[in-house]
Structure 1
Amino acid sequence: MSSNHDPRWLERLWRGSLALTLAGLVGAGALAATASATPSTERTGEAGGLTQTRTLSRVFAADGAEEVVDSREVTVQVSHADQLRGRERVKVSWSGARPSGARAADPYGENGLSQEYPVVVMQCRGTDDPDAPASAQVRPETCWTSTRQQRSLAVSDRTAVWRHDLFATDAAREAKSGRDPFPATECNDPASLSSHVTPFQARDGKEHLACTAETMPPEAAVGAAYPPAEVAAFTGADGTGSVSFEVRSDVENGSLGCSATVACSIVVVPIMGISCLDDDRECRRAGRWLPGSSNFSQQGVDLAVSPQLWWSESNWRNRFTFPVTFGLPADTCDIQDSRPPTGFYGSELLAQAALQWSPAYCLSKSRFKFQHNRMPDEAGFKLMETGQGAAALVSGERESTGDAPVGYAPTAITGFSVGYSIDRPDNAGEYGQLRLNARLLAKLLTQSYLGSDLGRGHPGIEDNPLSINRDPEFQRLNPGLDDTAREAAATVLSLSESSDVIESLTSYLQADPAARAFIAGKPDPWGMVINPSYKAIALPTREWPLLDEYVPSTERECLQQNPAPYFTQLAAPVATMRKIAEAVLDAWPNVQTRCERATSSDPWKLGRVERQGLGTRFVLGIVSLGDSARFGLRDAALETKPGSFVAPSEASMAAAVKLAKQKERTGPFVIEQKAVRASGKAYPGTMVVYTAARLHGADKAESKKVAQFIRVATTEGQRPGRGNGDLPAGYLPIRRAGVTAPLFATAQRVADLVEAQQAPTTAAEPGDGEDDGTTDPSTDAPGTAPDPDDAENPDQDGPTTAQDPTKLASSVTATPDSSSRLGRVALPLALGIALLGGLLSSAARVMMRLRRIR
């Protein structure tokens, strides 16, 4: 870390572990360790959640007296606030708030302004820590909004209700408030109107007036890469509400600038209405819409109770501020460690774990610089075999082309899911219990839905439904959804390249009799048939082909200028599951059927369709469980035995691992889909990621690094958490005991053989998961952390149970980064303070060590 980093970074990394208030550290240059900006903040649950409760009120003043016209005790919770990553979702929920009226179809950004009494949720730079310098205090100017309408307005003097705000200063009540002098020329505001502007202060110090599109920060430009994150959320008649709020790091929003070294907060502002200094009629308005009503046509609302005045003192003083911390950025190792990396090549399923594991290696000089390089499993395996890569990351056995045997060390248990974003009709919220069977997935992959009228001319499938939501089989499993035809609902976004994920998915199809019969050409019970281009396709396969070549006949000029296979444009696969996850997150299908041109004289071109609006979303995609957990996506439950639908969870993944069979003691474990179907409790998308490496003939130095990686990854790396070296949500921990014990034992065995680089002298016997004496799992090898079962769960003999049985989200604790140098200093230091009471001397040692890390 550079020496100019904010010293509060240390406090933010420790906040989940320190129980003491280190007030004595202030004099040493660090801030007191505190859980929040207000004394009422409490930690809730095991995932680092925070809760605050406050009494909010609206007050009318007249003739020297003040009357409280509305008072409510509001409680706000955030699900987690530590070690966040860009685009991660945090659940924000509340109770006791005033019920909202005029519900918007899309509450994000400018579209959420036409509501009454919503709850505004924003991400802001800074905190409410009273001991922080003024530059680090949260204020309206450091809160992100994506449009000028949320920061500026010009209205007649009669409706300028902020000029009557009881809690505002005299200066703020002036007609041209917000700046003195008011930039009327830059903001194009006539002198006859009352105007207000809340400029945005960027991280680099630049001030953006934010009163025109041209004066907004660059990330707010039209066509920005990401949709608005700030939301004016609806409160139900019972005073409760919730929203999944997406945080942005400096990678996504450089102007806001939130990072591991820049303090930021989630700010929640329940709109109670302007408290009025006098008896001004406009200021005292209480809303024209009934609680629970909808305003899909975006008609007018009372400004005094709208979110457009979130910045006014009456509203801003009612804010709830939750400090958040961000994990180290992906390029940390490139910046901090100049050593050349040791590349491990292959499975994207390890991506989220590798993101947290990498700093645990590069920030420790006793370890090597680990680098995860995503590529098709097959390509990664070939690089390992030829010596161009230290190890491969794969999820299945490969046929070796060399003479050296290959060991498969189980490194992570995770898998894939069908992630989705689907809305209920009439803006009734997001659908949360999607169920799919193998035949429905086969229909999607084989391009057997027509998409639109353009597909009706396809020979052999003219009578098939346009999209899956119009399929009677889908409707039977998922009642209550709309039947509006959508091109995006005719496909599932998938991978364009070879992957063990596709092999696992298509194995699931092959194991299902109904799906297998459909692919062979048998109609489903409602008469739907397979696209002839895919009839009798061989399964399983590692790469899904685009076989349909149908080009529709049409009079549309755009399509005549761009003739192309229509169903390929619908499928439009991509190279990474990360891109699929972001498409689902944004409800932005990758369907390439949008006709566009710059001018009427330019030729037409085809491009990606627009994002779907809230309330009309329907997007499906094959995503990794790690990405799904990180981004807060929903996962479909997949059918196993008839009538049994299983969603990803720690319990269902453990049930799948229990079925795994191992042929050789250094080989992979095979989870047969036939056994998964018979189980009824196992999740079909469960997969094991292995570190595959040569057992002899490889470079000794590189092999030692691979062995170290296996040992660390299967011990320290299996501790669930959000810090450096921890195992993120989306993975089932590999334990020394319980159902995963055979995988742990195999990993240690392979690590020893990889390091020794000696071929086995006797033929391998079929493994039963018991230790064969080649390694002692109870002995910590060099570079190995203590097993989490020994230190934290000595009596645990199986996997933990996820809090939400329909979603894999490992129980996460807010612990310091255990594997970085800072993490190894923080916890022992905290204990030393508590036991010895040497507060000031310990603080000095912390600052000296932190300075060395920097």
Structure 2
Amino acid sequence: MRIRFPIARATRPSARPSSRRVFFGAVLLSAALGLGLAPLGPPGQAAHADEAADASELTVEAPAGGPFTGLKVTVSKTKGLTSEALTVTWTGGAPTRLGFEANYLQLMQCWGPDPNAADFRETCQYGYSASLLNTSLGLGGEDTDGRGRIERYGEDPAEPLPEGAQSVPFKAVTGERTPDGSANDPMVDGDGKPTSAHQTLAEFFNPFTTNEIPAARTTGDGTGRVIFEAQTAVEAPALGCGAVDGGRARGCWLVIVPRGNERVDGTPVPERTKLDGSPLQGGIFADRLVVPLEFSPIGAFCPLGAKEYRTVGSELVAEAVTSWQPKLCADSGPVFGYSTIGDALARSQVAGGNPGAPGMAFTADPVTAADGPKQVVHAPVTLSGTVIAFNIDAATENAADPDAKARYATAIKDLKLTPRLVAKLLTQSYPADVPGGNQGEAAHLAGNPRSLTNDPEFLELQPFFKHFHPLASQPFGLMTTIGDSASARAVWSWILADAEAAAWIGGRADPWGMKVNPNYRVTDPAAAASRGDYPKADPACHRANSKVPPPGYCTLDLRPYSTSMHKSAQLTLRGDALSKTFWDENKLPPAFVADAPRQPGRRYHLAITDAASAARYGLYTASLRNRAGEFVKPDGAGMIAAATAMRPTAASGVVATDPGVSTPGAYPLTSVTYAAVNKSLDRDSLKAYAAFIRHAAGPGQESGESAGQLPRGYTPLPAAFRDTAREAAEELEKVAVTAPTTGPGGAGGPPGRPGVPAGGGTPSGTPSGTVLPSTEAIGQSDATRAIVLGVIRFALVAALVLGGTGILAGPTIRRFAGRHRMTLDP
């Protein structure tokens, strides 16, 4: 489908009365109160270019006869959107000059109801990344805030800002508006003191939350591809996309502004000089292409006040449960709440059957006698896996090879990783992953390659990386999550089942002489294979100069934890490593502040996440070497091969991967996640959980993006697993016939009351000796992680509890992390 929108010139509107705080509060309140009842919608089908097109894919064209004649831009999905990634591709563009000097696209999300309205440009979330791009690439360019008015090269006749104006105002969906900086509309703070455009924008969005793309590269054949993060009213309250207004979800727009190689006065842009001017400037914005975005509503899909049946456990099922919830509660069906907690804690809670405990837990590990009474039924519900997702741009601007140079800033699509390479990343064995390592301070890593890109083992598998810029191509570590999980146990089991990796992590050098960071050396591989977390063990800290107080920044500042695998995927898409290594003397009090997200051409991010989260955010995933010596991607074929080779465990109906078995074609980090239900529950709860399992084993295994279907990133369960699930549901239904109307287990509180997981929902099962980071080290928006997923109400409460704990414990933890060593042995 192709559409065209006529374009109108922009003019300045008048300001409206303020209602921003009321609206923002309403958005967060509706999300918090409706999470268990009202998911944000099924995860999207954001796809790579080689995947099947979505039914709502849309193509827009630049007007014929204009400066960008022939440009056609296609957006992979435009309806039923949530917080997800959209694949934007185009043809007919002029090749981008090296360094993003000219000929590129700029993308942003706007909320204005009419793309032809005079004030439409003021509704666009844009204003930070232009300066960040200039800084990261070492370019000139005078537009410092992305919304500025540039007139050095001639007056723009299409620019209506008044004399002396500094910036195109931003108007939030509530009508609140930033000043333009002119004499009649000065930029001042609450005390009337002069301030900057960035500071006025920060009230609505900032470099860490904006989804703007300041420069998307067009290749030599006139084509291009970029991943754009669609944001709902939860991630971008000032846009309000998806918020229910007048009974309908508010829509938004994806705006693409093509840039050529001429300034506003028609003169060409000199070599090694970046094109001036904000994409919001009148004459530049006039060339915009607009794509309508329809969002799923943020609101109550299930009846408020209904009895809620609680579920907890593995994040591996989060996207599936989010999709199933609204279908299950339709037509007065049961309402299910869901909160992600560590597998070990989830198993113990459901096994105990204590009053107020959740009645069903999701886990890849079976509930055993060690967890509690043997009254648990297991039902397989999802087939997915842990993945290593990446967002890597080809840093080949200085490559001698012309073909490699032509691929500068394009996305790397394939990556091969061995167990030993992943072990190197997880053990801070590259100097670049240790505070001060890039400055030559990591004496305990002497002789090791600086980073993954410099590792001969890595380059043997990926020879193209030899063309990367030696300094600008450094990865930002491997992002991991905090807490206990079966996912982490699967990673360590895979690593330590490999003879090469096990020997290396035990202290033996690899064939090129690289050794494990001694803080992570394993003396008991069998015991280490069972750990369920990712330690941050190196005690090194670094001070850039004497102005920085000791100890400087440490491991948890340089390579902090993410709060969830979902968040890890989102941050990887954004190019944000959560690092805090810049000492800000102007901050009160002075402190280390977050490093800016990386921009196109400089992104090199890897994260351990789940396959569904990687799919939601359009990330490529690495091929991992299995026991058969094959590099396998986490696709359906690889997961089916792994699932069919799984072996029975001590728990009835439960199978698991044996890391020591060689299975051709199997993806090594495949997981079958089970719903474990305590049979001592009351009658209604047993029936409700049986209904959940029946849906999961039936319609819930149909791949698709509609409510009730199986989202992308999951593989439908083989028939034998579905049969096992149905048998489990039947067993629960038989027990329900003689079960009491009330019992020691529970659905999670009285009708309509948000439940809170036992233990407050804090990260569970953290092994003794593990150093927990402070809230600051974990990253931004901890309390909104549950909102992003659209999960149960009490997940928000749990996240808030975690945040409060981190705030209280943070200073002590940070000091501890700087002084103590830790090995991988449990």
How does the TM-score come out when normalised to structure 2?
0.69
Answer yes or no: is 1:85 the counterpart of 2:73: no
**Judging changes above 3 Å, is the alpha-carbon distance between structure 1 residues 216 and 200 closer, same or farther for their aligned structure 2 residues?**
farther
**Judging changes above 3 Å, is the alpha-carbon distance between structure 1 residues 712 and 328 closer, same or farther for their aligned structure 2 residues?**
farther
Deviation digits for residues 551-588 of structure 1, max 9, x if unmatched? 46979546762278x55655533442233223322222
The answer as to whether partners of 1:419 and 1:622 remain within 8 angstroms in 2 is yes
Aligned position for 1:546: 535
Q: How does 1:675-686 map to 2 (within 5 A)?
A: 675=661, 677-679=662-664, 681-686=665-670
Aligned position for 1:449: 430
Aligned position for 2:157: 162
Q: Which has the larger displacement, 748-757 or 117-126?
A: 117-126
Compute the displacement of 1:755 (Å): 2.3
**Distance in structure 2 (CA, Å) of the matches to 1:459 and 1:232:** 40
**Distance in structure 2 (CA, Å) of the matches to 1:618 and 1:232:** 17
| SS class of match (2:567) | helix
Answer yes or no: is 1:757 the counterpart of 2:739: no
Aligned position for 2:296: 327
Identify which of 663, 669, 674 aligns with 1:690: 674
The answer as to whether partners of 1:56 and 1:272 remain within 8 angstroms in 2 is no
Answer yes or no: is 1:436 the counterpart of 2:420: no
Q: How does 1:296-695 map to 2 (within 5 A)?
A: 299=273, 301=275, 308=279, 311-312=282-283, 316=286, 319-329=288-298, 332=300, 336-362=303-329, 364-387=330-353, 388-400=357-369, 401-425=371-395, 426=397, 427-451=408-432, 454-455=436-437, 461-481=445-465, 482=468, 484=470, 489=475, 491-533=477-519, 534-537=521-524, 538-544=527-533, 546=535, 548=537, 550-551=539-540, 556-557=545-546, 561-562=550-551, 566-567=554-555, 570-591=558-579, 593-598=581-586, 605-606=591-592, 608-641=594-627, 644-662=630-648, 666-675=652-661, 677-679=662-664, 681-694=665-678
| SS class of match (2:528) | coil
The answer as to whether partners of 1:51 and 1:75 remain within 8 angstroms in 2 is no
Compute the displacement of 1:473 (Å): 0.9
**Judging changes above 3 Å, is the alpha-carbon distance between structure 1 residues 411 and 643 closer, same or farther for their aligned structure 2 residues?**
closer
Compute the displacement of 1:395 (Å): 0.6
Q: Which has the larger displacement, 748-757 or 230-239?
A: 230-239
Aligned position for 2:692: 709
Aligned position for 2:682: 699
- Computing the radius of gyration over CA atoms, which structure comes out larger, 1 or 2? 1
Paired AA for residue 503 in structure 2: A
**Distance in structure 1 (CA, Å) of the matches to 2:497 and 2:448:** 24
Deviation digits for residues 741-769 of structure 1, max 9, x if unmatched? 11100000001112222899xxxxxxxxx
Aligned position for 1:75: 72
| SS class of match (1:439) | helix
Which runs of 5 or more structure 1 residues have no equivalent in the other structure? Answer: 6-12, 17-43, 60-69, 106-114, 164-171, 190-194, 275-281, 735-739, 761-854
Compute the displacement of 1:83 (Å): 1.9
Task: Report the number of matched residues.
Answer: 637
Q: How does 1:87-126 map to 2 (within 5 A)?
A: 88-97=84-93, 99-105=94-100, 115-126=101-112
Aligned position for 1:841: none
The answer as to whether partners of 1:73 and 1:96 remain within 8 angstroms in 2 is yes
| SS class of match (1:464) | coil
**Distance in structure 1 (CA, Å) of the matches to 2:106 and 2:350:** 51
Aligned position for 2:235: 252
The answer as to whether partners of 2:568 and 2:609 remain within 8 angstroms in 1 is yes
The answer as to whether partners of 1:232 and 1:307 remain within 8 angstroms in 2 is no
Deviation digits for residues 189-229 of structure 1, max 9, x if unmatched? 0xxxxx69754443113344455645986457685441442
| SS class of match (2:478) | coil
**Distance in structure 1 (CA, Å) of the matches to 2:231 and 2:455:** 38
**Distance in structure 1 (CA, Å) of the matches to 2:489 and 2:220:** 48
Paired AA for residue 536 in structure 1: T
Compute the displacement of 1:624 (Å): 1.1
Aligned position for 1:278: none
**Judging changes above 3 Å, is the alpha-carbon distance between structure 1 residues 141 and 591 closer, same or farther for their aligned structure 2 residues?**
closer
**Distance in structure 2 (CA, Å) of the matches to 1:198 and 1:337:** 42
Deviation digits for residues 634-682 of structure 1, max 9, x if unmatched? 211111256521111122112212212335794212122333x431x11
Paired AA for residue 421 in structure 2: L
Q: How does 1:679-828 map to 2 (within 5 A)?
A: 679=664, 681-694=665-678, 696-734=679-717, 740-757=718-735
**Distance in structure 1 (CA, Å) of the matches to 2:580 and 2:72:** 45
**Judging changes above 3 Å, is the alpha-carbon distance between structure 1 residues 514 and 568 closer, same or farther for their aligned structure 2 residues?**
farther
Compute the displacement of 1:141 (Å): 3.6
The answer as to whether partners of 1:145 and 1:151 remain within 8 angstroms in 2 is yes
**Judging changes above 3 Å, is the alpha-carbon distance between structure 1 residues 143 and 461 closer, same or farther for their aligned structure 2 residues?**
closer
The answer as to whether partners of 1:420 and 1:633 remain within 8 angstroms in 2 is yes
Compute the displacement of 1:139 (Å): 3.4
| SS class of match (1:252) | coil
Q: Which has the larger displacement, 504-513 or 460-469?
A: 460-469
Aligned position for 1:37: none
**Judging changes above 3 Å, is the alpha-carbon distance between structure 1 residues 252 and 283 closer, same or farther for their aligned structure 2 residues?**
closer
How does the TM-score come out when normalised to structure 1?
0.67
| SS class of match (1:332) | coil
**Distance in structure 1 (CA, Å) of the matches to 2:651 and 2:482:** 34
Answer yes or no: is 1:262 the counterpart of 2:250: yes
Deviation digits for residues 470-527 of structure 1, max 9, x if unmatched? 2211121122323746997474222321100011111111221111121232211011
**Judging changes above 3 Å, is the alpha-carbon distance between structure 1 residues 558 and 423 closer, same or farther for their aligned structure 2 residues?**
farther
Paired AA for residue 384 in structure 1: V
Compute the displacement of 1:713 (Å): 1.9
| SS class of match (1:412) | strand
Paired AA for residue 356 in structure 1: S
The answer as to whether partners of 1:209 and 1:215 remain within 8 angstroms in 2 is no
| SS class of match (1:265) | strand
Aligned position for 2:816: none
**Judging changes above 3 Å, is the alpha-carbon distance between structure 1 residues 103 and 332 closer, same or farther for their aligned structure 2 residues?**
farther
Aligned-pair identity in percent equals 25
**Distance in structure 1 (CA, Å) of the matches to 2:594 and 2:68:** 49
Deviation digits for residues 389-442 of structure 1, max 9, x if unmatched? 110100121323444332211111111111222222224323221111001112
RMSD between aligned alpha carbons? 3.8
**Distance in structure 1 (CA, Å) of the matches to 2:658 and 2:474:** 32
**Distance in structure 1 (CA, Å) of the matches to 2:409 and 2:633:** 23
Paired AA for residue 374 in structure 1: T
Q: Which has the larger displacement, 442-451 or 203-212?
A: 203-212
Which runs of 5 or more structure 2 residues have no equivalent in the other structure? Answer: 1-25, 31-40, 45-50, 129-143, 182-186, 188-195, 244-248, 398-407, 739-826
The answer as to whether partners of 1:152 and 1:197 remain within 8 angstroms in 2 is yes
**Distance in structure 2 (CA, Å) of the matches to 1:454 and 1:214:** 34
Higher relative contact order (CA 8 A, sep 6+): 2
**Distance in structure 1 (CA, Å) of the matches to 2:207 and 2:111:** 20
Paired AA for residue 79 in structure 1: S
Aligned position for 2:802: none
Aligned position for 1:781: none
